[in-house]
């Protein structure tokens, strides 16, 4: 049986910048927006900055026979509009999403339409000017915009997650263009995400999470009110966490997944709360009654006496709630990002960023 190689590199030439951009479209390298021409010199500059061999393997996507190298990642980071100093973040995020427990083939192909959310911690945030405040998920910052876009281009160009072909998202969401935030870890008493996940405070890391779109929580004033509203939103029917067809613990009957929650504003509002206490509250309250799950055909069968009071948790363990302090200082607004699928289908991964 013959097999086709998918490790080849395509090269092209062009006469000027505009024709180079058009060539990028013709070759199918674009996410729909213009790409920066990945000249060999620019790609080499990125690889040189990271000080890593171009053929070093960052990981593989075995189901699609793809091995992702530093050079492949560099070409896509150039096309996304990155600066060379952003590239170590892109490399770490790529390594993270190719970690087997992330199970990239799932969130990059599924009808569920996940995006790879990147959460950056550590000193690299200031070094490259990542935004962790106003317009957290919005436009206006080159580092956030282009690092997140790099991940999408790597998925499309190097991992074959091509819409309509191997990416079968039914709806998807805007985070599939770019989805990268940083934690405002210097502006809160809360333990930074990467320290909670076993890294030193001095490390720089990126955490990848296969997420649905963020849902904003516009409850302010008291921590309890914000968390009450947050739990209500996260308990919605219709998220991936509250759908049937568990591929994990079948005794639960629903998918149960991880979740990212962000908290903006002034951290002083949360002075009596730790991240552990927030997680404890949310884990106990992100749930749905058996009766509601039956009404939504998540669970089968007629509603029985006791089903209204019997509650099912949508999140496996408190540690599966990733708490991030980030967002504008203007208000204590928050957000909820449900996972794409069950925890056994994709688990968040954190990797160290190797800064040169």
Partner 1 sequence: MHDGIHVEQAGLPSATICTDRFIPTARGMAKMWGAEDYPTIFTQHPIENLDRPALRERAEGLATEVAAILTGG
The rounded distance, in Å, linking the Cα atoms of 330 and 170 is 35
Residue 198 sits at the vertex; the CA angle it makes with 190 and 50, to the nearest 5 degrees, is 105
- Closest approach of Cβ 52 to partner 1, in Å? 28
| Closer residue to partner 1, CB minimum distance, 86 or 340 | 340
| Closer residue to partner 1, CB minimum distance, 1 or 171 | 1
The rounded distance, in Å, linking the Cα atoms of 28 and 157 is 8
Q: In 3D, which of 219, 301, 209, 297 has the Cα closest to residue 264?
A: 219
- Closest approach of Cβ 144 to partner 1, in Å? 32
The rounded distance, in Å, linking the Cα atoms of 20 and 162 is 21
| Closer residue to partner 1, CB minimum distance, 168 or 197 | 168
- Closest approach of Cβ 3 to partner 1, in Å? 4
Q: In 3D, which of 340, 319, 344, 113 has the Cα closest to residue 250?
A: 344
| Closer residue to partner 1, CB minimum distance, 65 or 271 | 65
Alpha-carbon Rg of the chain, whole angstroms?
21
- Closest approach of Cβ 347 to partner 1, in Å? 21
Q: In 3D, which of 312, 20, 329, 349 has the Cα closest to residue 188?
A: 329
| Closer residue to partner 1, CB minimum distance, 6 or 25 | 6
- Closest approach of Cβ 88 to partner 1, in Å? 31
Helix (H) or strand (E) holding 259: strand 259-263
Binding site for partner 1 (CB under 8 A): 1-4, 6, 63-65, 160, 164-166, 168
- Closest approach of Cβ 4 to partner 1, in Å? 6
Question: What is the per-residue burial (b if ≥16 Cβ within 10 Å, else e) of 36-73?
Answer: bbbeeebbeebbebbebebeeebbebeebebbbbbbbb
Q: In 3D, which of 232, 231, 115 has the Cα closest to residue 181?
A: 115
- Closest approach of Cβ 259 to partner 1, in Å? 25
- Closest approach of Cβ 105 to partner 1, in Å? 8
The rounded distance, in Å, linking the Cα atoms of 300 and 307 is 12
Output phi, psi for 208, to 5 deg: -105, 145
- Closest approach of Cβ 231 to partner 1, in Å? 29
| Closer residue to partner 1, CB minimum distance, 4 or 40 | 4
The rounded distance, in Å, linking the Cα atoms of 294 and 86 is 47
Residues pairing with 322 in the sheet: 260
| Closer residue to partner 1, CB minimum distance, 3 or 11 | 3
| Closer residue to partner 1, CB minimum distance, 65 or 189 | 65
User: Residue 85 in contact with residue 149, Cβ under 8 Å?
Assistant: no
| Closer residue to partner 1, CB minimum distance, 3 or 268 | 3
């Amino acid at each position: 049986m013959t097999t086709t190689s998918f490790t080849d590199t395509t090269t092209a030439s062009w006469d000027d910048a505009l024709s180079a951009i058009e060539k990028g479209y013709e070759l199918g390298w674009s996410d729909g927006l213009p790409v920066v021409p990945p000249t060999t010199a620019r790609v080499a500059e990125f690889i040189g900055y990271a000080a890593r061999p171009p053929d070093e393997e960052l990981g593989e996507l075995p189901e699609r026979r793809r091995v992702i190298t530093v050079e492949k990642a560099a070409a896509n980071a150039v096309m996304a509009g990155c600066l060379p100093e952003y590239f170590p973040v892109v490399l770490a995020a790529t390594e993270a999403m190719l970690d087997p427990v992330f199970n990239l083939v799932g969130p990059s192909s599924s009808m569920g339409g996940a995006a790879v959310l990147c959460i950056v911690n550590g000193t690299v945030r200031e070094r490259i000017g990542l935004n962790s405040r106003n317009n957290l998920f919005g436009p206006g910052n080159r580092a956030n915009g282009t690092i997140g876009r790099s991940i999408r281009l790597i998925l499309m160009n190097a991992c074959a997650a091509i819409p309509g072909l191997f990416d079968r998202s039914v709806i998807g969401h805007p985070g599939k263009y770019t989805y990268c935030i940083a934690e405002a870890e210097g502006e809160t008493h809360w333990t930074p995400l990467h320290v909670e996940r076993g890294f030193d405070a001095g490390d720089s890391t990126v955490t990848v999470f296969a997420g649905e779109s963020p849902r904003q929580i516009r409850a302010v004033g008291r921590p309890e009110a914000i968390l009450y509203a947050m739990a209500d939103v996260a308990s919605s029917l219709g998220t991936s966490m509250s759908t049937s067809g568990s591929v994990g613990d079948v005794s639960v009957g629903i998918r149960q997944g991880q979740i990212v929650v962000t908290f903006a504003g002034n951290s002083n509002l949360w002075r009596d709360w730790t991240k552990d206490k927030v997680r404890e509250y949310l884990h106990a309250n992100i749930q749905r009654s058996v009766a509601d799950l039956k009404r939504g055909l998540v669970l089968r069968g007629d509603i029985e006496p006791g089903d209204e009071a019997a509650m099912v948790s949508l999140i496996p363990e408190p540690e599966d709630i990733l708490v991030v302090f980030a967002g504008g200082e203007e208000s204590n607004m928050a957000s909820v990002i449900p996972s794409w699928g069950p925890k056994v289908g994709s688990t968040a991964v954190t990797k160290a960023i190797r800064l040169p």
